[in-house]
């Protein structure tokens, strides 16, 4: 199933607890935020990692034509988000530079993201860290292409987010429940020939959140962070806080699905 607009919540189940040391009872309409992102735990270890400007870069392969393949992510950014505006503000951008290469090839990596939210003009900060588990397949450029729906010859490469079920964040301040959501700019991704989908593309019986990218292009995936808020009656708020604590425990025990 192709998604016209894919919404992902940024994970931080532990923040569902009531925020301490914040006396602001009214709806918080404006948030300052910071994002720090970095690649970690890539395989194989021969993949090259370096910093270029404000991007963390993974580079791999032996050049065949055009250049080496890369995954890039914005390292640091900050801004202000307006609650319930439906638009949000920029999040990190991921770029896949896809070229025909010879091995070695990237197989997997973790994207570790540190995010903090603070009501504009208030000292309270809600920080969290989330790790996104990514599998990567540098497909052979010959028929048959291994993934249904991929463009053929040269075949699309693919990266799969293995823990989309963990992508949710809600944090409570007084009687308001706030949810931060990461929105992928699918139109920008498609303009470079990319495709975002959520289905069982690898035949293992489990739907995957996947990103197909065209050969000899830089597929750019911008994101926005949107914050929404709903008022929660006190008994329900206490229940949400309890669910947050339980969710944090489950997330701690969860590990990457083994292939």
Number of independent structural domains in the chain: 1
pLDDT at 234: 64
Q: Which of 183, 182, 180, 174 is nearest to 240 (CA)?
A: 174
Q: Is residue 2 part of a domain?
A: no
Q: Which of 5, 32, 67 is nearest to 218 (CA)?
A: 67
Q: From CA 87, how far away is CA 228, in angstroms rounded?
A: 10
Q: Is residue 1 part of a domain?
A: no
The beta strand positions in 120-243, using DSSP E, are: 126-137, 157-161, 170-173, 176-184, 195-199, 208-213, 217-221, 223-231
pLDDT digits (tens), the chain, 259 positions: 333 334 444 433 333 333 433 445 789 999 999 999 999 999 999 999 999 999 999 999 887 766 889 999 999 999 999 999 988 999 999 999 988 777 889 999 999 999 999 999 887 788 888 899 999 988 777 777 777 655 666 788 899 988 877 666 888 888 899 989 888 899 999 888 888 988 888 778 888 899 999 888 899 999 999 999 999 876 554 455 444 433 333 333 333 444 4
Q: Is residue 258 part of a domain?
A: no
Q: From CA 82, how far away is CA 87, in angstroms rounded?
A: 8
Q: Is residue 259 part of a domain?
A: no
The token pair that represents 47 in the structure block:
């993949």
pLDDT at 61: 84
Range of the domain at 40: 7-253
Q: From CA 191, how far away is CA 194, in angstroms rounded?
A: 7
pLDDT at 22: 43
């Amino acid at each position: 199933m192709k998604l016209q607009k894919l919404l992902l919540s940024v994970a931080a189940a532990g923040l569902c607890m009531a925020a301490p040391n914040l006396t602001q009872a009214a709806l918080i309409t404006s948030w300052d935020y910071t994002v720090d992102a970095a690649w970690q735990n890539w395989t194989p270890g021969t993949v090259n990692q370096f910093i270029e400007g404000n991007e963390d870069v993974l580079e791999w392969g032996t050049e065949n034509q055009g250049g080496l393949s890369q995954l890039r992510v914005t390292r640091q950014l900050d801004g202000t988000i307006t609650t319930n505006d439906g638009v949000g503000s920029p999040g990190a951008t991921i770029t896949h530079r896809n070229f025909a290469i010879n091995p070695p090839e990237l197989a997997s990596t973790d994207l570790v993201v540190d995010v903090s939210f603070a009501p504009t003009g208030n000292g309270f900060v809600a920080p969290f860290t989330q790790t996104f588990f990514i599998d990567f397949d540098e497909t052979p450029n010959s028929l048959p292409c291994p993934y249904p729906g991929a463009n053929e010859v040269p075949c699309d490469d693919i990266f799969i987010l293995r823990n989309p079920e963990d992508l949710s964040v809600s944090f409570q301040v007084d009687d308001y429940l706030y949810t931060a959501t990461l929105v992928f700019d699918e139109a920008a991704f498609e303009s470079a020939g990319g495709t975002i989908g959520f289905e069982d593309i690898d035949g293992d019986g489990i739907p995957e959140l996947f990103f197909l990218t065209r050969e000899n292009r830089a597929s750019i995936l911008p994101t926005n962070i949107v914050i929404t808020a709903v008022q929660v009656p006190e008994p329900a708020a206490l229940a949400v806080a309890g669910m947050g604590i339980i969710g944090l425990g489950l997330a701690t025990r969860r590990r990457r699905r083994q292939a």
